[in-house]
Amino acid sequence: MNTCFLKIVPALLFMTGCAGNGGSTDNNLPPYQNESLPLEERIEDALSRMTLEEKVAMLHAQSKFSSAGVPRLGIPEIWCTDGPHGIRPEVLWDEWNQAGWTNDSCTAFPALTCLAATWNPEMSALFGKSIGEEARYREKDVLLGPGVNIYRTPLNGRNFEYMGEDPYLSSRMVVPYIQQVQKNGVAACVKHFALNNQETNRQSVDVVVDDRALHEIYLPAFKAAVEQGGVWAVMGSYNKYKGQHCCHNQYLLNDILKRDWGFDGVVISDWGGVHDTKQAVENGLDMEFGSWTNGLTWGASNAYDNYYLAHPYLEMLKRGEADQATLDDKVRRVLRLNFRTAMNTHKPFGSLNSPEHLAAARRIAGEGMVLLKNDGKVLPLDPTAAKRLLVVGENAVRMMTVGGGSSSLKVRHECTPLEGILTAVGPECEVSFERGYVSDATDTYDGVKTGQDLSETRSAERLIADAVQAARSADAVIFIGGLNKNWGQDCESTDRASYGLPYGQDRVIEALAEVNPHLAVVLVSGNAVAMPWIDRVPAVLEAWFSGSETGNALADVLFGRVNPSGKLPFTFPVRLEENAAHAMGEFPGGDTVHYNEGIFVGYRWHDAKAIRPLFAFGHGLSYTTFEIGNVKADRTSLTANGTLRVTADVTNTGDRAGAEVVQLYIGDAESTLPRPVKELKGFEKVMLEPGQTRTVEFTVTPEALSYYDDTKHAWTAEPGRFTAYVGAASDDIRGQVDFTLE
């Protein structure tokens, strides 16, 4: 087990005690330093002691990832760190490049697509607890994550950082993450608010979307983060909405977030997302970061003083062009954040790269992997029977924690798939490896180097020929490919170049399928991909970007130590044209992008148009089998203030212990406005021994039946007939029951 422990001494020890456990309640302290007093009383006391200059200084960056405190009052700086899959290595004060520390290697947790694919809020809580402890140990105050932007198109390069296409699933999964991070005295910063569904023209594109889609699809996870998760920070997005950049957007930030949802935390800009002082002041922004993101080579030598919320704001205040009340509201929010994090002396001690965190990363990764296909029960592999095992594919040996944009990490060690397989099999099994294909591999990102030499002299034809020759004599073949985090794939600031697999992987897979029927394809990706070879390959496993423990987690699933139970958090269309954003809407647009598909995103579109997907939302197989039946409702009608219980029995009918995700969808048969055929409104993951049966119960309220009426600007539940569908995927309904809303 690779572990790394470090102790960082806080730069400032408060008068109330050390920045760890404990703390003083000395009544001789100024009220703002007395943690026994109500939070709001402390905030008002601190605010009353600050000068105009000190107030403004708190609202903008002083370095790449920190903002100033008030040294005169002992109020410390705020330090942010990129996430949401691990704690970013330390960078130089004014640059993205690494500071060269040797003790800032973190645990890389699985990408959020993998977390969402667990369909298990307990895994979200474990993820949040673990990453929160790492952020706490590194003395970070704000973790820039999680991300909950909706998966609108498979070409969005940043989909791997988000939680899928469904607002209900994203809402359920984001809340435990936030709550557990913040128990460490570290603020979660949910992002990117809002409508950040592409990287092309991300700094300028104006999203045109109807109010129904905005409220029903794109906002619910953010709302849950605020109202249920109690998140302490929200990051604005780069794009525009209603003609205003989202980092200073009147409707999103002031009207919806702060007024309607009662958000009491800080709105943080994305790095470089601020464009105007007056709009930043008036339209809801609280803290500005990265307006010159290339250190001090952009802008003046005193770049931070020239940020939009720095001297330009100060001068507006002095000229009477900006009001004191708006300033004080921003400062109150920053102070509230500070008291919850940096000045919280009751925070637990964290830990970094601990055995527990590596075990958590492995467990989450294993539970999130999705068995898409398993004809002939190729998986799990038995190394005592398949004595000659061939592994093919660059992704079997390539590190995936370095690259991809702001979520790039530095780890002590990343267990690659090939390494995990070699560790898992016994000496009686011979494992060989063939490259199969070559990518445009890079070995460094912002100064972090993988240390891998993936250079190759063989031609593409020779690589395929060598792999085919080895496959002829193998008892089983595992192809490990998919995407990587290079430009044009799963990567921040760029969208995918195409829906198909890159680097000629289809040719490799087809050639392997011709010579060996015992072939399993493992996809490492954060996105859906085209599979023209699907009818010729018996087994397909989606393994995601799984972090530090990728190889061990993958081996757990391949060899049956872990029975796969992941479910897809988004739809795999057969062709890109069968995705709603490409069939009906625009992508990527130009100066504007129109979401013409409205609410019909993902499986909603496939249901409405009766398009059979390659793999459906909610799909995922197991090494055992399950029956779901006896779907019943406890009554035939639901009143406006009542509840209705829907129950179903789930039985493990196979010979292995395993987990099934029982999914509840609701359909509205009599609606004034167009509605999806059905929408996810509940799910429960159930672990069962062979032969065991459990009854799953869902509670349906009128809220689950509501839609957003954009003519009334309100949620509406219309009386009429509804159907509750219960099944194992959006296209695998096992039972249904009708009821009415009175």
pLDDT of 277 over the 50 cut = yes
- Please list, in sequence order, all residues whose beta carbon lies within 8 angstroms of the beta carbon of residue 260, skipping any fewer than 6 positions away: none
Q: Say if residue 396 is preceded by a cis peptide, omega within 30 of 0.
A: no
pLDDT of 536 over the 70 cut = yes
What is the rounded distance in angstroms from the CA atom of residue 521 to the CA atom of residue 369? 13
Q: 54 vs 13, 311, 433, CA distance in Å? A: 20, 12, 61
Residue 672 CB neighbours (<10 A): 12
Under 8 Å between Cβ of 557 and 363: no
- With H, G, I as helix, E, B as strand and everything else as coil, classify residue 39: helix
The domain limits of the chain are 364-570, 624-741
Under 8 Å between Cβ of 257 and 193: yes
Paired tokens of 241: 């909405």
What is the rounded distance in angstroms from the CA atom of residue 545 to the CA atom of residue 527? 10
More confident residue, 286 or 296: 286
Name the DSSP class of 79.
E
pLDDT of 16 over the 80 cut = no
What is the rounded distance in angstroms from the CA atom of residue 370 to the CA atom of residue 566? 4
Closest by CA to 211, choosing from 615, 628, 710, 573, is: 710
pLDDT band at 302, cuts 50/70/90? confident
- Please list, in sequence order, all residues whose beta carbon lies within 8 angstroms of the beta carbon of residue 38, skipping any fewer than 6 positions away: none
pLDDT of 295 over the 70 cut = no
Average pLDDT, the chain: 94
- The backbone region for 691, taken as left when phi is positive above 0, alpha when psi lies in -120 to 50, beta otherwise, is left
Helix (H) or strand (E) holding 668: strand 658-668
Q: What pLDDT score was predicted for residue 207?
A: 98
Q: 294 vs 77, 290, 362, 672, CA distance in Å? A: 21, 8, 36, 52
pLDDT of 273 over the 50 cut = yes
Amino acid at residue number 556 = D
The arithmetic mean of pLDDT across residues 323-333, rounded, is 98
Looking at the DSSP bridge assignments, the partners of residue 615 are: 572
- Please list, in sequence order, all residues whose beta carbon lies within 8 angstroms of the beta carbon of residue 390, skipping any fewer than 6 positions away: 431, 432, 433, 434, 467, 470, 471, 474, 476, 477, 478, 516
Under 8 Å between Cβ of 36 and 24: no
pLDDT band at 443, cuts 50/70/90? confident
The arithmetic mean of pLDDT across residues 456-481, rounded, is 98
Q: Say if residue 380 is preceded by a cis peptide, omega within 30 of 0.
A: yes
- With H, G, I as helix, E, B as strand and everything else as coil, classify residue 692: coil
Q: What share of the chain is helix, strand, coil (3-state, %, to 5)?
A: 30, 20, 50
Residues in the chain: 742
More confident residue, 385 or 119: 119
pLDDT of 174 over the 80 cut = yes
Under 8 Å between Cβ of 621 and 668: no
pLDDT of 409 over the 90 cut = yes
Q: What is the 3-state secondary structure (H, E, C) of 106-147?
A: ECCCCCHHHHHHCCCHHHHHHHHHHHHHHHHHCCCCEEECCE
Of the CA atoms within 13 Å of residue 535, those in its CB half-sphere come to 2
- The backbone region for 436, taken as left when phi is positive above 0, alpha when psi lies in -120 to 50, beta otherwise, is left
Paired tokens of 258: 């702060």
Place of tokens 């290339």: 294
Residue 25 CB neighbours (<10 A): 11
Q: Which residues are catalytic?
A: 270
What is the rounded distance in angstroms from the CA atom of residue 303 to the CA atom of residue 288? 12
Q: What pLDDT score was predicted for residue 299?
A: 65
Percentage above 90 pLDDT, the chain:
91
Percentage above 70 pLDDT, the chain:
95
> What is the CATH T-level fold of the domain 364-570, as seen in this structure?
Rossmann fold (3.40.50)
Paired tokens of 410: 């530095």
What is the rounded distance in angstroms from the CA atom of residue 136 to the CA atom of residue 142? 9
pLDDT in tens, 114-170: 999 999 999 999 999 999 999 999 999 999 999 999 999 999 999 999 999 999 999
- Please list, in sequence order, all residues whose beta carbon lies within 8 angstroms of the beta carbon of residue 410, skipping any fewer than 6 positions away: 89, 98, 104, 105, 106, 401, 402, 448
The arithmetic mean of pLDDT across residues 249-271, rounded, is 98
pLDDT in tens, 338-364: 999 999 999 999 999 999 999 999 999
Helix (H) or strand (E) holding 326: helix 324-340
- Please list, in sequence order, all residues whose beta carbon lies within 8 angstroms of the beta carbon of residue 670, skipping any fewer than 6 positions away: 718, 720, 721
Looking at the DSSP bridge assignments, the partners of residue 539 are: 374, 520
What is the rounded distance in angstroms from the CA atom of residue 106 to the CA atom of residue 5? 10
Closest by CA to 553, choosing from 446, 429, 423, 737, is: 423
Alpha carbon 74 to its chain centroid, in Å, reads 35
pLDDT of 13 over the 90 cut = no
Closest by CA to 296, choosing from 68, 92, 493, is: 92
Under 8 Å between Cβ of 298 and 307: no
Q: 14 vs 33, 35, 345, 354, 686, CA distance in Å? A: 8, 11, 8, 28, 47
pLDDT in tens, 37-69: 999 999 999 999 999 999 999 999 999 999 999
Q: What pLDDT score was predicted for residue 474?
A: 98
pLDDT band at 585, cuts 50/70/90? confident
What is the rounded distance in angstroms from the CA atom of residue 144 to the CA atom of residue 87? 9
What is the rounded distance in angstroms from the CA atom of residue 708 to the CA atom of residue 720? 16
Under 8 Å between Cβ of 504 and 460: yes
Least confident of 19-23, 74-78, 332-336, 515-519: 19-23
Q: What pLDDT score was predicted for residue 442?
A: 79
Tell me the helices (H) and strands (E) count for the chain, helix number first: 17, 28
Q: What pLDDT score was predicted for residue 1?
A: 38
Q: How would you label 264-299 residue by residue, b for 16+ Cβ within 10 Å and e otherwise?
A: ebbbbbbbbbbbebebbbebbbbbbbbbbeebeeee
The arithmetic mean of pLDDT across residues 658-672, rounded, is 96
- Sign of dihedral through CA atoms 503, 508, 509, 510? positive
624-741 — its CATH code?
A: 2.60.40.10
Paired tokens of 649: 């029995």
Q: What pLDDT score was predicted for residue 27?
A: 65
Q: What pLDDT score was predicted for residue 4?
A: 40
Q: What pLDDT score was predicted for residue 644?
A: 97
What is the rounded distance in angstroms from the CA atom of residue 677 to the CA atom of residue 668? 7
pLDDT in tens, 691-725: 999 999 999 999 999 999 999 999 999 999 999 99
pLDDT of 627 over the 60 cut = yes
- The backbone region for 560, taken as left when phi is positive above 0, alpha when psi lies in -120 to 50, beta otherwise, is left
Paired tokens of 122: 């307990």
pLDDT band at 95, cuts 50/70/90? confident
Strands 388-392, 476-482: parallel, antiparallel or unpaired by DSSP? parallel
Under 8 Å between Cβ of 314 and 56: yes
The arithmetic mean of pLDDT across residues 223-245, rounded, is 98
- What radius of gyration, in Å, describes the C-alpha atoms of the chain? 26
